[in-house]
């Protein structure tokens, strides 16, 4: 199946994010894959995820030595979406 990117951003706050990400539009095949994966993990005894499903691709993980970065994503418009 195809995926379409939908924006970029970072996790973490205070000018020191710990991860950079690209959002993915939640198309039906991707949502179905998420549900099936979640069900399989519950079947083997893991707790289900209670947070809302927000599909994304992690671009980078940053450690403390990376220092502060500016606002990530303001220079990267997504049009048309990448498939």
**How many whole angstroms separate alpha carbon 52 and alpha carbon 69?**
27
**Predicted pLDDT at 29:** 93
> Three-state SS for 7?
strand
Nearest Cα residue to 17 out of 66, 55, 74, 80: 66
Q: Is a pLDDT exceeding 80 seen at residue 35?
A: yes
**Predicted pLDDT at 68:** 62
Kindly report the pTM of this predicted structure: 0.67
Local confidence band at 82 (pLDDT 50, 70, 90 cut-offs): very low
Cα distances (Å, whole numbers) of residue 52 to 48, 69, 78: 11, 27, 23
**Predicted pLDDT at 79:** 44
Q: What percent of the chain has pLDDT over 90?
A: 39
**Predicted pLDDT at 67:** 64
């Amino acid at each position: 199946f195809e995926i379409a990117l939908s924006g970029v951003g970072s996790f973490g706050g205070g000018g020191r994010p710990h991860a950079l990400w690209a959002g993915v539009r939640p198309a039906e095949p991707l949502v179905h894959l998420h549900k099936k994966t979640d069900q399989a993990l519950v079947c083997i005894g893991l707790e289900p995820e209670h947070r809302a499903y927000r599909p994304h691709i992690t671009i980078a993980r940053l450690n403390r030595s990376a220092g502060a970065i500016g606002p990530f994503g303001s220079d990267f418009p997504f049009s048309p979406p990448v498939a």
